[in-house]
Amino acid sequence: MNDSTSPGALPEEFAQRLQQIIPCERFADCWKSFTRPMATSFRINSLRGRTEDVAAELTRAGFDLLPLAWNADAFSVPDDQRRALTESAACTEGRIYIQNPSSMIPPFALDPQPGEEVLDLAAAPGGKTLHMAALMKNRGRIGAVEVVRNRFFRLRSTLERGNAQIVQTYMKDGTRVWRQCPERFDRVLLDAPCSGEGLFQIDQPQSFAYWGKKKRAEMVRKQRRLLYSAVRSLKPGGTLVYSTCTFAPEENEAVVQHALEQFGDALAVRDIELHLDAMQPGLSEWQGAAFCPPLRAARRIVPNGVMEGFFICKLYKRESTRDM
């Protein structure tokens, strides 16, 4: 590894693994993303105001808004305006939600419709839940589940501030939801707990302090159980999106492949109809083990200074799993 991509304080094993995952022509930019904060981006919350009105409000307040081409409600601001943005009335009153653009993709991929019943199986801190409520125009119902107490109350605060009126929150273990709600939901979002590799920062050692094989194995156990619950909670004909903010294939393609093997023909991978320069297809193999070809339709987000590292896979439930 040359000096421009030196691993610095990050584990050498992480750097070696990443070089096997990220295309070589994108590796240098990806690595630089760990050395500086991502651009400050946000989504205007349509449940609290119209995009044009809130954008005009922020512009009058002196913010230099840069629109995101693929999301009409999303913008970024220069780094030196981040603190002022977090302290703005638009932020504190819920008209905007500060969020990396990668985190905006799972709700888009899920595409929840007004009037539907949707499950968010690991919902805190609530940005994606709020986004789904906006896409649904506050019509229908969202069940938002979070098991960790302090994160649960952060979730409730986010939803209250954002005027997400159709959300009911539950502090419970998401792996058990399917037992109370078998095949109940039209759509399910599982933004799963993960090893968080897409959020690593060299100047924040706590962001990777527990990284390693043991952490990945712990996350995989949780992810498999949560994805099982997500599939069992989904109606036949329904859509499920599985996402993480990590690069690890063990937590991404391998977890989805495990579910595809569990449920057989009842589950299928679907294309994600969003094409960005930062996207690459799902991996076809990892460390000599091949993944099933449909997983190429999953999408990986390669960090580029604006987008964080992310994995998204869209699944369709062809038939009932009640007898499985």
* Other Cβ atoms within 10 Å of 324 Cβ, number: 11
Annotated catalytic residue 24: no
- Tell me the two tokens of residue 162: 């954002």
Q: Give the Å distances, CA to CA, from 42 to 95, 152, 196, 260.
A: 10, 22, 20, 34
* Residue whose structure tokens are 């609290």: 48
Q: From 257, 315, 245, 316, select the one nearest 284 (Cα to Cα).
A: 257
What is the C-alpha separation between 116 and 185, in angstroms, rounded?
Answer: 8
What is the C-alpha separation between 289 and 287, in angstroms, rounded?
Answer: 6
Amino acid at 242: Y
Is the distance from CB of 44 to CB of 96 less than 8 angstroms? yes
Longest CA pairwise span in the chain (Å): 59
Which of 91, 245, 292, 313 is labelled catalytic?
Answer: 245
| H/E element, 280 | strand 279-281
Burial of 181 (0-12, 13-18, 19+ CB in 10 A): middle
Q: Is 75 helix (H, G, I), strand (E, B) or coil?
A: strand
Length in residues, the chain: 324
Q: What are the residue numbers of the active site?
A: 245
